[in-house]
Amino acid sequence: MAGSSSITGTDWIAVDWGTSSLRVWALGRDGDVLAKAVSQEGMGGLAPADYEPVLMAHIRTWLPETAVRSVPVIVCGMAGAKQGWKEAAYRVAPCAAVPEGEMIRVPTRDARLSVHILPGVCQLDPADVMRGEETQLAGLAANLGPLDATVCLPGTHSKWVRLEGGRIAGFRTFMTGELFSVIAGHSILRHSIAPEGENAAAFAKAVEDMLADPAGLTGALFAIRASGLVGRSDGAAARSRLSGLLIGAELAATRPQWDAKPVHIVGSGSLIDAYATALKTAGARPVRQDAEALTLAGLKQARAAMLEIQS
Amino acid sequence: MAGSSSITGTDWIAVDWGTSSLRVWALGRDGDVLAKAVSQEGMGGLAPADYEPVLMAHIRTWLPETAVRSVPVIVCGMAGAKQGWKEAAYRVAPCAAVPEGEMIRVPTRDARLSVHILPGVCQLDPADVMRGEETQLAGLAANLGPLDATVCLPGTHSKWVRLEGGRIAGFRTFMTGELFSVIAGHSILRHSIAPEGENAAAFAKAVEDMLADPAGLTGALFAIRASGLVGRSDGAAARSRLSGLLIGAELAATRPQWDAKPVHIVGSGSLIDAYATALKTAGARPVRQDAEALTLAGLKQARAAMLEIQS
């Protein structure tokens, strides 16, 4: 999926560099997407010296042949983590969704690049961190205007964010996706859970059970195993029940944020479907937001802020 | 630790065969312990054909030299699981703590052995299972008499049991110990959690946090990681906090069972200490019970029931 076709008129380049994936866009002066590349070369598999050559392999044909000018490259996500390309220290919430000049400059060997990494956002009490989601929030805030809103960003580490007047007022991260992986893969439940398959009724029942008994998670997990041992074994239902219990636990903990309010869910694919279903089961009003579109919109906000500072 | 010294007068042999350990006692006619052996040859590492030779290596010198009579061997624990020596189907709760004749006979090559495995106990709704704990409960019920009591059996899969009139009225299992292992070993928290060390204040605070916000577990877990990233990193405190959150979640779910009531905690070592501390932090009244002593007492109850049936 590399952007191998040669293009002209690249004004700047937007990059979303996550733990397990990389997305790159070439943008024209009017903000139109001229080319796009996607790969699995995420931060998790890279050493600091790898970033520039990996990036160049995707964008070489998007750049002018000589360094008559450097092309701005704006990067969000885990490339700015301590173990990433270069550490971009956190901004501290409450803060604006879009950084205003806090990007860090990364030196490159190729003089045609002018790479800037966006900082993540941290919260001191309770301690919490995000890298990448703040850029999606900047895109959402640009779309919604300076409103108050509840935002859910499902994933390995699901985040619930309060936007107030378009700013990040506070947030909380849940280990939902990662707990699913380690419990399904490494605990005794691995014997009970099918590698794939779904059971919508089992999912909805699990969400309801957690909303009714929020303290019951670690007991409900063992019951998945026990159900199999006393004769009611269904690997797909067990898989959906584990998912429903963990997402239900997240909803039980965030009830004041979604009760009788719209929730913007930022995601894609089956994960956003699962959260939308869970929220509807709980009686909430999910509003789907496309994660990739918001990331690009947020990177454009950062580009605009950069131009404003330079002018 | 094998019982290699030759003894005479073995009336019967008691065996506690768990997932990761094996305990064997030679008992005289008066119930006195003549010899004892302990090993790590748990059910987890054995095939069905391994059980008799493993057992014989420990008890050979406890047996008469010729098969003038067979020596009863009474086994509790995971040796009776489907993957064990021979499956001993579950009794269904509510039920007596001591089985009354439901033991299964296991054929042996050595005619001097008369091996019986005690069944586990299951509960149909909500689904749950135990194997081995029912024997400790039989020992406890024999000591306490036919009373009502709340019993907590901490471990990989912690169990909370209601005894009513000395019978197993109902129970609930929590994946507490196993979740500690998979989260500390396989999730992103492995970067935050020291392999050992304790922090009593962090443990108590975590228990209190879960009692105050029972739905907050999966969010509180990620905060352990985030605390390290925003500069407050202490691997021993993180370890104690993870333990306190998981035990606190168990207490939050079982509050009606321990609130203003004594709780018999069956265990040993640092685990029983942690639960006793957590229960005191929560304002409950823990009563310590030695797990090994109760197991042996429960096996003696089973032996007595067997003699009653035979007479």
| Amino acid, res. A307 | L
In this complex, is the C-beta atom of A250 within 8 Å of any C-beta atom belonging to chain B? Answer: yes
**Average pLDDT across chain B, whole number:** 94
Q: Count of residues for chain B?
A: 311
Compute the CA torsion angle A159, A163, A167, A168 (nearest 10 deg): -30
State the smallest CA–CA distance between residue A19 and chain B in angstroms.
12
Contact criterion met (CB below 8 Å) for B123 and B170: yes
Amino acid at B115: V
CA dihedral over A43, A48, A50, A53, signed as positive or negative = positive
In Å, how far from its chain's centre is CA B109? 30
* Smallest CA–CA distance from A221 into chain B, residue: B175
Paired strand residues for A27? A12, A33
Q: In which band, very low, low, confident or very high, does the pLDDT at B5 lie, cut at 50, 70 and 90?
A: low
A221 lies within 8 A of chain B by CB? yes
pLDDT digits (tens, 9 = 90+) for B174-197: 999 999 999 999 999 999 999 999
If residue A55 lies in a helix (H) or strand (E), which one and from where to where? helix A51-59
- Is A214 touching B (CB cutoff 8 A)? yes
* % of chain B at pLDDT higher than 90: 89
Is A93 near chain B, with CB under 8 Å? no
**Integer Cα distance of A132 and A22 in angstroms:** 12
Q: Is A88 on the interface with B (CB under 8 A)?
A: no
Which of B127, B187, B250 is the closest to A182 by Cβ?
B187
pLDDT at B1 over 50: no
Give the best residue of A217, A243, A245 to mutate against chain B (max B CB count within 10 A). A217
> Contact at 8 Å (CB) between A135 and A124?
no
- In SS3 terms, B139-177 reads as HHHHHHCCCCEEEEECCCCEEEEEEECCEEEEEEEECHH
Predicted TM-score (pTM) of the model is 0.92
Query: Where residue A2 falls among pLDDT bands split at 50, 70, 90?
Result: very low
Contact B235, B193 (CB under 8 A): yes
Whole-angstrom Cα distance, residue A245 to residue A251?
Answer: 10
CB distance A218–B249 less than 8 Å? yes
Spatial contact of B164 and B275, defined as CB atoms under 8 Å apart: no
- A129, A227, A249 ranked by CB distance to B218: nearest: A249
Q: Which two tokens stand for residue A108?
A: 């490159």
Kindly report, residue by residue over A194-242, the tens digit of the pLDDT: 999 999 999 999 999 999 999 999 999 999 999 988 877 799 999 999 9
Predicted local confidence at residue A69, as pLDDT: 83
Half-sphere exposure of residue A215: CA atoms within 13 angstroms, side-chain side: 18
When pLDDT is averaged across residues B264-280 and rounded to a whole number, the result is 96
Cross-chain residue pair B221–A127, CB shorter than 8 Å: no
Average pLDDT over residues B25-47: 95
**Alpha-carbon distance A157 to B225, whole Å?**
11
Number of H helices, E strands in chain B: 9, 15
CA atoms within 13 A on the CB side of B82: 6
Task: Give the pairing of strands B127-130 and B167-174.
Answer: unpaired
Q: What is the mean pLDDT of residues A248-257?
A: 96
CB contact under 8 A, A122 and B214: no
Asked if B218 and A186 come within 8 Å (Cβ–Cβ), the reply is no
**How many helices (H) and strands (E) in chain A?**
8, 15
Q: Which residue has the tokens 């110990």?
A: B177
DSSP B107: -
Which chain B residues are within 8 Å of A282, Cβ to Cβ? none
Cα dihedral sign, B27-B32-B34-B35: positive
Residue B172, chain A, CB below 8 Å: the answer is yes
Q: A182 Cβ partners below 8 Å, 6+ apart?
A: B182, B183, B186, B187
Contacts of B221 in chain A (CB under 8 A): 175, 179
Taking CA atoms, A140 is separated from A168, A172, A298, in Å, by: 11, 18, 8
pLDDT at A5: 62
Say whether residue B16 is in contact with chain A using an 8 A CB cutoff.
no
Evaluate whether B141 touches A246 at the Cβ level (below 8 Å).
no
Tens of pLDDT, residue by residue over B105-159, are 999 999 999 999 999 999 999 999 999 999 999 999 999 999 999 999 999 999 9
Residues of A in Cβ contact (< 8 Å) with B88: none
Which of A175, A205, A250 is the best residue to mutate to test the B interface, defined by the most B CB atoms within 10 Å of its own CB?
Answer: A175
Give the C-alpha separation, A79 to A213, whole Å: 39
In whole angstroms, how far apart are CA B155 and each of B66, B99, B180? 41, 23, 11
Residues in Cβ contact with B143 at an 8 Å cutoff, skipping those fewer than 6 apart? B294, B297
Average pLDDT across chain A, whole number: 94
Distance CA A48, CA A202 (A): 44
Whether residues A218 and B185 touch (CB distance < 8 A) is answered with no
The CA distance from B279 to A243, in Å, is 30
Q: B256 in contact with A at a CB cutoff of 8 Å? A: no
CB A54 within 8 A of CB A68: no
Contact status of B185 with chain A (Cβ, < 8 Å): yes
Give the rounded percent of residues in chain A with a pLDDT score beyond 90.
88
A36 to chain B nearest CA, in Å?
31
Residues 20-59 of A with CB under 8 A from B: none
Region B66-92 average pLDDT: 93
pLDDT in tens, A124-154: 999 999 999 999 999 999 999 999 999 999 9
A55: left (phi over 0), alpha (psi -120 to 50) or beta: alpha
- Does A87 score more than 60 pLDDT? yes
User: DSSP class of residue A243?
Assistant: H
Quote the ipTM score.
Answer: 0.89
Identify the pLDDT of residue B2.
44
Q: Is the dihedral of CA B166, B157, A195, B47 positive or negative?
A: negative
Say how far apart CA A83 and CA B229 lie, in whole Å.
12
Tell me which residues of chain A, numbers 150 to 169, contact chain B at a CB-CB cutoff of 8 Å. Answer: 157
Give the pLDDT confidence of A9-21 residue by residue, as tens digits.
899 999 999 999 9
Residue A222 exposure: Cα atoms within 13 Å on the Cβ side: 26
Q: State which residue of chain B sits closest to A157, comparing Cα positions.
A: B222
